[in-house]
């Protein structure tokens, strides 16, 4: 019983990180219908920023999020205006290939700049935990989960309560109609990609204390993010949140009850099943 | 026949190469080239002609590799028989996968293809009894090839691999030619251009897509088996990894998707680039791939071949 | 000494190493060892022309590298590669091409079990890592239950296999057998499983990054066996040792330590420290000695491959790795019967605690988190 509870709690905590990466991806897809294969690489850049801010300026990772997010926002906005914007009307397959190319450039530039050495970020609380009955919750993951919730909450508020947020949702719902209503859809695209990148950067900053950092770390996160987004429903922020937590839990439980080496396999099987049985995901709208 | 002439000359020239060049390293580069060409042309049948971009073709490559290897190591079946069995297994699984995934459109199909390849990779990693898991399988020496009592080769030099590789690359190019000019090719083109219109014209979408997948998977698996025997060692990440899939896609995109010469050009560019850059950029030769892909998508979506063809057309029109 | 008899000779040696890729940090420690060896060889009058190839951590590339070194660069002998998975196809090709190859650190047993004549290994095979670690622990106190946690790669699987065999032979009950896919951010479920089995000893096989994550999460979850043993690799690296919160008290099997008492070991460590600003792990020592031995033999054999092989086969050395002689035993061929040492991290320093003749400190037992 203790094992089951521990599994579930650990899974939920790590699911928060997956959710954050997924939310970024789903936002970009929702607004521009582009599946960003470089999302994981943006997380990687966030991780490196966090690492260097910690090593060189001694800033705690959970505090440096406020610096990393704007930096990644600018990077994302730049990528969108120079590259992504040019393929918005191209075949979706070509869009995917473009983002794959961007991902390759980002990860390999990082490799040239930082070498492929694994970097470890050690804080005083890197291996601390809080006891909740028989369950032990990792302190860094707990902070991570709390900050993720805060960011997600802020994002919901932004989308639901502000004019710009409404504009983004309008663009996501129907691009042409939004344009007719006077929304500058081109700017919305830049904003969405910037936001998506900022969220990826935040995820990188939050996970940096509990993982290790190397140029190719992005790939696995991108794939995880796809699963989260498809499960939750492409374009749905709430869906991605839910999807993240569910995937985190499934992974954790699979590791215990099926086998540590099999947990990724289970996640991909879930992915395939969702794609085949309910491609619009849990909360997505049915779309061809 | 006239059409085949421009192909026959380089093919013949390549066939004569080992008589003049003995350096094993040079032959090795040619073999890598043949493998890349074969893989590019194989992917092209599904991705280029049918317009179904699979970023999980490593699945068929790996199945070909593991199939033939396991048959040799466990049952002692020589590769020239084992390869066909491996190809058959790959095609059967591919058709099953196609049957369930072809209902997905565009990007969803891409994602599904990635998921399938990863599932197969993880299965190979965990099914230790069959595949030896992460430790991989080290190939034992190949039995000498004998036909009617005379020994053709004992596999101890690069030359037999060179000729086999050349044959395989030529075969895959020929398959592309055949498909492009056949009725199947027309149906695939229709599906690629507008799936719904094709469907309304009565073209059985899943059947033709599956045919393309079957051909594509067969050629890929064949190449996978060959590559496995050449390298003599396979492990799940090396043959099922997503980089293998991505490289196949890049070869076609950069060269020119949907053409017969495109993947060929793409393969030459990419193999020569990676060997040349290995000394200076090491693994970061992928950086150049990334830049090339971005450039191609933004500036010449028909790849190098399309770009060159466009230039030639313009020149011809100007006269 | 052989050195005194050699005139200034020039030899060509190929080195295959993981300079880039996931194993680059350990590859770097090997490169450093090679650098120091080259300097010493030069001092002894042996000019070594080294041709280095990067296998980027991939077996196929290691194989290509060997082909190139052997056919295009015409090296007399090869030292490397680093990892077991790269060594796998490489040794087979070396044997086929009749080029002597000396493996510095790769632990997979099969590498020297294939009746090959040209393949030599200086470090102990995987079973040595497991048995030394477990022997040391059993000598400290009684233990009944063993948990094995390892990455599902060549190195992890083969070393774990030998630990399981040891358990079967020595009456230890295997209560957990967890193979994980490396690179995961979360091992908590795996470790929770292990914790619920209440093992006395946890034997782990990982490279550095995973070793750190695993131990961090083990501490979080309060997994407290009587002893943690690391099977070489990650647990012996300075990066791991530097994580004071989690490395204190961890035992590790290793092929070399600076306080082992072998001739020149201490000086080598000091020299390495001064040059590279960090303590040398066993990889550097293995690399150093391997290159030294290969170059000496190549010089003696005047760059003839078969004579080099004969020199390796017949020679014996006594340097920083202690006595080295390549013999056939227990189904191994051309294997150096290298004694595996066990170290423990005490007060942030790595000290040898087993076997008794090399021990410099008393082991702390049972294990307690800081």
Give the tens place of pLDDT for each residue, B98-126. Answer: 998 998 888 889 999 999 999 999 999 88
Report the domain count for chain A. 1
Strand partners, C79: C15, C102
Query: Do B283 and A111 make contact, defined as CB atoms within 8 angstroms?
Result: yes
Q: What is the mean pLDDT of residues A100-115?
A: 91
- Note the pLDDT of residue C2: 57
Residue A81 at interface with chain C, using a CB cutoff of 8 Å: no
Residue C60 at interface with chain A, using a CB cutoff of 8 Å: no
Residue of C nearest to A252 (CA): C189
User: Are the C-beta atoms of C215 and C243 separated by less than 8 Å?
Assistant: yes
- Note the pLDDT of residue A269: 93
Q: What is the CATH number of the domain that holds A118?
A: 1.10.3470
- Note the pLDDT of residue C325: 94
Could you tell me the two tokens for B296? Answer: 């191609």
Quickly state the pLDDT bin for B280 (edges 50, 70, 90). low
pLDDT in tens, C179-219: 888 778 888 888 988 998 999 999 999 988 889 999 999 99
Query: Do B287 and A102 make contact, defined as CB atoms within 8 angstroms?
Result: no
How far away is chain B from the Cα of C356, in angstroms, using its nearest Cα?
35
Query: Do B135 and C21 make contact, defined as CB atoms within 8 angstroms?
Result: no
Q: What are phi and psi of B137, to 5 degrees?
A: -120, 125
Residue B3 has pLDDT above 70, yes or no: no
Of the given ranges (A104-108, B5-9, B215-219, C287-291), which has the lowest mean pLDDT? B5-9
Residue A189: give the domain boundaries. 2-277
Q: What is the mean pLDDT of residues B235-263?
A: 90
Quickly state the pLDDT bin for A116 (edges 50, 70, 90). confident
Residue C262 has pLDDT above 70, yes or no: yes
- Note the pLDDT of residue A203: 94
Position A286 in a domain: no
**How far, in Å, CA of C149 to CA of C152, rounded?**
9
Position A284 in a domain: no
Query: Do A210 and C216 make contact, defined as CB atoms within 8 angstroms?
Result: yes
Residue C93 has pLDDT above 90, yes or no: no
Residue of C nearest to A17 (CA): C185
Q: Please give the model's pTM, rounded to 2 decimal places.
A: 0.87
How many other CB atoms sit within 10 Å of the CB of residue B127? 13
Residue C7 at interface with chain A, using a CB cutoff of 8 Å: no
- Note the pLDDT of residue A287: 45
* Beta-carbon contacts of residue C5 (< 8 Å; ≥ 6 apart): none
Query: Do B105 and A288 make contact, defined as CB atoms within 8 angstroms?
Result: yes
- Note the pLDDT of residue C309: 94
- Note the pLDDT of residue A276: 86
Q: What is the mean pLDDT of residues C330-350?
A: 91
Q: SS3 of C96, please? A: helix
Residue C142 has pLDDT above 50, yes or no: yes
Chain A residues bordering chain B (beta-carbon distance below 8 Å): 35, 83, 86-87, 90-98, 100-105, 107-109, 111-112, 116, 219, 223, 226, 230, 259, 261-262, 264-265, 268-269, 271-272, 275-276, 279, 288
The mean of the pLDDT values for chain B is: 88
pLDDT in tens, B87-100: 999 999 999 999 98
Residue among B46, B43, B91, B45 at smallest CA distance from B67: B91
Candidates A116, A129, A212; nearest CB to C213: A212
Residue C278 at interface with chain A, using a CB cutoff of 8 Å: no
Residue C26 at interface with chain A, using a CB cutoff of 8 Å: no
- Note the pLDDT of residue A288: 38
Residue A45 has pLDDT above 90, yes or no: yes
* Chains with 3 or more CB pairs under 8 A to chain B: A, C
- Note the pLDDT of residue C3: 55
Looking at domain B24-140+154-318, which of 1.10.3470, 3.40.50, 1.10.1200, 1.10.940 is its CATH number? 1.10.3470
Residue C253 has pLDDT above 50, yes or no: yes
Quickly state the pLDDT bin for A126 (edges 50, 70, 90). confident
- Note the pLDDT of residue C21: 73
Please work out, in degrees rounded to the nearest 5, the angle formed at the alpha carbon of residue B185 by the alpha carbons of B180 and B189.
Answer: 110
Residue A286 has pLDDT above 60, yes or no: no
**How far, in Å, CA of B96 to CA of C217, rounded?**
41
- Note the pLDDT of residue B279: 65
Could you tell me the two tokens for C209? Answer: 């990054």
- Note the pLDDT of residue A255: 85
**How far, in Å, CA of C264 to CA of B227, rounded?**
46
The mean of the pLDDT values for chain C is: 89
Residue of A nearest to B288 (CA): A105
How far away is chain A from the Cα of C25, in angstroms, using its nearest Cα?
6
Domain boundaries, chain B: 24-140+154-318
- Note the pLDDT of residue B249: 92
Quickly state the pLDDT bin for C340 (edges 50, 70, 90). very high
Residue B209 has pLDDT above 50, yes or no: yes
Query: Do A83 and B294 make contact, defined as CB atoms within 8 angstroms?
Result: yes
Query: Do A83 and B298 make contact, defined as CB atoms within 8 angstroms?
Result: yes
Query: Do A264 and C178 make contact, defined as CB atoms within 8 angstroms?
Result: no
Mutate to test the interface with C, among B229, B279, B283, B285 (most CBs of C within 10 A): B283
Query: Do B233 and C156 make contact, defined as CB atoms within 8 angstroms?
Result: no
């Amino acid at each position: 019983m203790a094992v089951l509870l521990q599994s579930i709690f650990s899974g939920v905590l790590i699911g928060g990180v997956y959710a954050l990466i997924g939310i970024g991806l789903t936002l970009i897809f929702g607004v521009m219908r582009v599946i960003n294969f470089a999302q994981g690489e943006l997380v990687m850049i966030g991780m490196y920023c966090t690492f260097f801010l910690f090593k060189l300026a001694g800033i705690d990772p959970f505090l440096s999020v406020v610096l990393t997010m704007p930096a990644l926002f600018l990077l994302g906005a730049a990528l969108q205006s120079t590259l992504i914007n040019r393929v918005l009307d191209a075949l979706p397959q070509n869009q995917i290939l473009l983002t794959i190319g961007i991902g390759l450039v980002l990860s390999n530039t990082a490799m040239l700049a930082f070498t492929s050495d694994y970097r470890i970020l050690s804080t005083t609380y890197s291996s601390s935990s809080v006891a909740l009955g028989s369950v032990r919750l990792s302190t860094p993951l707990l902070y991570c989960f709390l900050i993720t919730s805060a960011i997600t909450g802020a994002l919901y508020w932004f989308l639901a309560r502000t004019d710009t947020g409404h504009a983004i949702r309008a663009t996501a719902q129907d691009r042409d109609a939004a344009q007719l209503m006077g929304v500058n859809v081109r700017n919305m695209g830049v904003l969405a990609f910037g936001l998506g990148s900022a969220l990826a950067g935040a995820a990188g900053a939050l996970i940096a204390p509990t993982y290790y950092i190397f140029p190719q770390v992005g790939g696995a996160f991108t794939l995880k993010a796809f699963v989260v987004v498809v499960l939750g429903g492409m374009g749905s922020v709430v869906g991605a949140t839910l999807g993240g937590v569910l995937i985190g839990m499934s992974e954790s439980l699979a590791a215990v009850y099926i086998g540590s080496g099999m947990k990724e396999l289970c996640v991909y099987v879930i992915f395939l099943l969702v794609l085949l049985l309910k491609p619009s995901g849990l909360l997505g709208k049915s779309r061809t | 026949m006239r059409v085949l002439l421009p192909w026959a000359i380089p093919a013949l020239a390549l066939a004569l190469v080992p008589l003049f060049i003995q350096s094993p390293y040079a032959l090795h580069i040619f073999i890598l080239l043949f493998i890349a060409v074969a893989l590019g042309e194989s992917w092209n049948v599904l991705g280029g002609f049918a317009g179904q971009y699979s970023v999980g073709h490593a699945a068929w490559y790996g199945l070909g590799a593991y199939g033939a290897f396991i048959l040799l190591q466990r049952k002692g079946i020589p590769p020239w028989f084992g390869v066909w069995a491996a190809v058959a297994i790959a095609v059967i699984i591919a058709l099953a996968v196609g049957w369930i995934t072809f209902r997905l459109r565009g990007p969803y199909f891409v994602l599904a293809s990635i998921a399938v390849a990863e599932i197969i990779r993880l299965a190979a990693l965990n099914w230790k009894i069959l595949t030896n898991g992460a430790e991989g399988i080290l190939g034992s020496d190949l039995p000498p090839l004998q036909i009617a009592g005379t020994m053709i080769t004992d596999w101890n030099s690069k030359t037999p691999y060179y000729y086999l590789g050349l044959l395989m690359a030529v075969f895959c190019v020929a398959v592309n030619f055949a498909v492009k000019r056949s009725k199947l090719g027309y149906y695939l083109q229709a599906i690629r251009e507008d799936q719904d219109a094709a469907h309304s014209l009565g073209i059985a979408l899943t059947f033709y897509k599956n045919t393309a997948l079957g051909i594509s998977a067969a050629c890929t698996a064949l190449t996978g088996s060959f590559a496995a025997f050449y390298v003599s060692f396979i492990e799940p990440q090396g043959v099922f990894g997503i980089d293998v899939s991505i490289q196949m896609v890049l070869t076609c995109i950069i060269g020119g998707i949907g053409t017969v010469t495109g993947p060929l050009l793409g393969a030459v560019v990419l193999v020569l680039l990676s060997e040349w850059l290995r000394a200076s950029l090491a693994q970061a030769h992928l950086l150049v791939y990334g830049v090339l892909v971005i450039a191609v998508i933004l500036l010449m979506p028909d790849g190098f071949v399309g770009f060159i063809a466009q230039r030639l057309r313009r020149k011809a029109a100007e006269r | 000494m052989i050195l005194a008899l050699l005139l200034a000779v020039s030899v060509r040696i190929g080195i295959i190493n993981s300079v880039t890729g996931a194993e680059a940090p350990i590859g770097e420690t090997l490169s450093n060892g090679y650098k120091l060896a080259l300097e010493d060889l030069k001092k002894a009058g042996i000019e070594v022309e080294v041709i280095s190839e990067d296998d980027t951590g991939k077996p196929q590339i290691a194989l290509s590298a060997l082909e190139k070194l052997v056919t295009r660069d015409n090296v007399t002998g090869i030292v490397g590669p680093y990892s077991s998975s790269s060594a796998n196809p490489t040794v087979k090709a070396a044997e086929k091409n009749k080029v002597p190859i000396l493996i510095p650190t790769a632990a997979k047993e099969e590498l020297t079990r294939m009746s090959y004549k040209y393949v030599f290994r200086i470090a102990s095979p995987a079973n040595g890592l497991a048995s030394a670690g477990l022997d040391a622990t059993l000598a400290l106190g009684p233990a009944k239950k063993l948990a094995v946690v390892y990455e599902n790669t060549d190195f992890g699987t083969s070393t774990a296999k030998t630990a399981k065999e040891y358990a079967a032979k020595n009456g230890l009950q295997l209560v957990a057998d967890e193979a994980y896919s490396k690179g995961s951010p979360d091992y908590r479920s795996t470790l929770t499983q292990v914790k619920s089995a209440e093992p006395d000893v946890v034997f782990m096989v990982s490279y550095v990054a995973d070793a750190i994550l695993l131990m961090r999460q083990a501490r979080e979850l309060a997994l407290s066996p009587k002893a943690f043993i690391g099977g070489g690799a990650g647990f012996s690296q300075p990066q791991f040792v530097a994580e004071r919160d989690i490395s204190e008290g961890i035992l590790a099997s290793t092929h070399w330590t600076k306080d082992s008492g072998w001739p020149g070991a201490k000086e080598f460590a000091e020299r390495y420290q001064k040059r590279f600003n960090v303590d040398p792990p066993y990889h550097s020592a293995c690399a150093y000695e391997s290159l030294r031995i290969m170059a000496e033999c190549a010089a003696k054999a005047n760059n003839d491959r078969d004579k080099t092989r004969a020199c390796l086969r017949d020679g014996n050395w006594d340097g920083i790795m202690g006595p080295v002689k390549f013999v056939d035993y227990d189904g191994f061929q051309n294997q150096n019967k290298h004694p595996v040492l066990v170290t423990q991290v005490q007060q942030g320093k790595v000290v040898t605690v087993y076997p008794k003749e090399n021990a410099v400190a008393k082991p702390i037992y049972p294990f307690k988190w800081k």
